[in-house]
Amino acid sequence: MKKLAVFFPGIGYTADKPLMHYSRRLAADAGFEVLVLPYAGFPQKIKGDRARMEESCKLALSQSKEMLSGTDFSEYDPILFVGKSIGTIVAAEIAAHCPFSERIHFVLYTPLEDTFSFPLGDAVTFTGDADPWVKADSIPELCEKKGIPCHVISNANHSLETGNVRTDIENLEKVMNKTRKFIRHI
């Protein structure tokens, strides 16, 4: 069977930014067909506004379903969903309704709490302990409840960046090494 990796970017964190760019390359190097979902058209000032966040999720979900409508998931095993921020919610919801959900594995970069309202199965998570988009310690706690490995980056924000270029490059290397290891095990 063929292998498929689907990339669900964040609102402002597109598939060309470091976490998504390098994980996409890792998936391709591991023999996965790569599909990026370039959804767009989000409202402004989403952070802290639950109504706008829900509107954004619905928009990204609708666009993702449309872009995936021609994909025959029965042809693929394994399937890798890589999400960033709001993309983690969209990936989790699509997987929850996929008849081949047992084949889906997740790499979750800076997930939001709502991601964990869906079954996730085999997954790995990366979050920052200074992420203003989530409550302190909520992601590690949610991961622990679901039995999902959670890698916490010290002093890192929602882009897993600290503001120190050298530290950010070192952290990116660590995240990509763990991502590569996860992709290789599926």
- pTM flag (> 0.75): yes
At 42-79, the pLDDT tens digits run 888 888 778 888 888 999 999 999 999 999 999 999 99
27/70 Cα distance (integer angstroms) = 21
CA angle 78, 82, 83 (to 5 degrees): 145
- Provide the pLDDT confidence category of residue 95 given band limits of 50, 70 and 90: very high
